[in-house]
Amino acid sequence: MKKTAKKQIVTISFDILLISLVLIGQKFYEKLMALLPECIILTLTGRQCGSCGGTRCVYNFFTGNFPAAFQFNPFFFFVIIYVILLITLANLAFVFKIKSAEKPLKVIADYRIFIIFATGYFIFTLIRLFM
């Protein structure tokens, strides 16, 4: 199998998985929230960690309530936008074979971007814990 065909299959499979998770999450949101444990850091310190509000942010984002999504967790809000951009460019480059999408995809899929996100998450967590 050609490398391009493999990339197409992986991209389309990932798209189907993501769409399925969003649809399932919207349908079973209340049950999902009941299953998730309380944040240990919030329980111990009374302060939110970097992940607090992440599930509610994702849910509100995909139901179109963007102000609430941003309010629950601003960092996750931007991560969602980044992931959507990444998936869109991957689809354009590998599924629809649009050459002009390959260069921006290489830029935003670079490992340094992930390091920037990890550093940003660490700083965001520190700000939430100590401010």
Nearest by Cα to 11 from 94, 83, 85, 106: 94
pLDDT at 4 over 80: no
Tokens standing for 104? 């921006």
pLDDT at 123 over 90: yes
pTM: 0.83
The pLDDT of residue 27: 81
Helix (H, G, I), strand (E, B), or coil: what is residue 46?
coil
Tokens standing for 37? 């444990």
- What confidence tier does 1 reach under pLDDT thresholds 50, 70, 90? low
Give the mean model confidence (pLDDT) for residues 59-82.
93
Q: Is 11 or 3 the better-scoring residue by pLDDT?
A: 11
The pLDDT of residue 6: 82
d(CA 49, CA 41): 6
The pLDDT of residue 120: 96
